[in-house]
Structure 1
């Protein structure tokens, strides 16, 4: 069964990157005259309303079915990590230029690779490790004054 590009993970990952870039630009302008934590709250409310609307329109606003305790624990932990990340990101945008904050934030790419290997047992080949190292070096070079 062949999957179209639109149905593939690279398509959605590239779209995510584009929206993340716009997030940085929009947030930098939006956080200018407001406390960064308040800005994060407003963003979160918008996300909740938007996701609720999407679920309704797509007919997915129903019970997800039985969820294990493990699923709940890790989804809650993921939500807490997301919230912490957003609070830190908006605070960094309030204090620094988006063109420098965003590359440092993208060190998450390096950390995900390391955490994936250490915590999830994933394997990266030498070419992939080279990419991880280059992303790290690039982020650092972009952020240096």
Structure 2
């Protein structure tokens, strides 16, 4: 599978929206149970994505999906849900400036999992970048907070 050059623009947009997610969520969960906030957020996402898929004319018959596709999409959904529950709980009790970077340890874990399970082979330079991300997460997570 060849990557399109547009991946970088989409990835940068994702990073911007993820950053806004942390800031908006930190404000939005004040005085609300984090699990309920996660559910509420998920319902909004379902409606927005449903409208987008309809508008874009991208509806497909789910019965046409292979069992393997369904299995891995369900596993992905379960992992996403668990991640969101943990993320919102961490945001509710921690500082967004610490929680969000630690959440990005997923970058390191994706590289390790892709190596182990997908056969991807990052270059030495890419592993160095991954190590720098891990080091940054440690620095931010362990940094003493000033009141």
| TM-score normalised per structure 1 | 0.93
* CA distance in structure 2 between the partners assigned to 1:89 and 1:117 by the alignment: 25
Question: Alignment partner of 2:53: what SS?
Answer: helix
* CA distance in structure 2 between the partners assigned to 1:143 and 1:125 by the alignment: 27
* CA distance in structure 2 between the partners assigned to 1:124 and 1:59 by the alignment: 36
User: What is the Cα deviation at residue 4 of structure 1?
Assistant: 8.7
State whether residues 103 and 140 of structure 1, in contact with CA within 8 Å, keep that contact through their aligned partners in structure 2. Answer: no
* CA distance in structure 1 between the partners assigned to 2:16 and 2:90 by the alignment: 20
Stretch deviating more after TM superposition (135-144 or 37-46): 135-144
Structure 2 unaligned blocks of 5 or more: none
* CA distance in structure 2 between the partners assigned to 1:50 and 1:140 by the alignment: 35
Structure 1 unaligned blocks of 5 or more: none
Deviations 1:17-76 (A, max 9, x none): 000000000000001110000000000001000000101111123425621111110000
4+ runs deviating over 3 angstroms: none
User: What is the Cα deviation at residue 130 of structure 1?
Assistant: 0.1
Work out which of the residue numbers 84, 88, 91 in structure 2 matches 1:90: 88
Q: Equivalences for 1:1-145 in 2 at 5 Å?
A: 8-63=6-61, 66-144=64-142, 145=144
Question: In the comparison of the two structures, how many residue pairs are matched?
Answer: 141
* CA distance in structure 2 between the partners assigned to 1:129 and 1:76 by the alignment: 30
| TM-score normalised per structure 2 | 0.92
Question: Alignment partner of 1:118: what SS?
Answer: helix
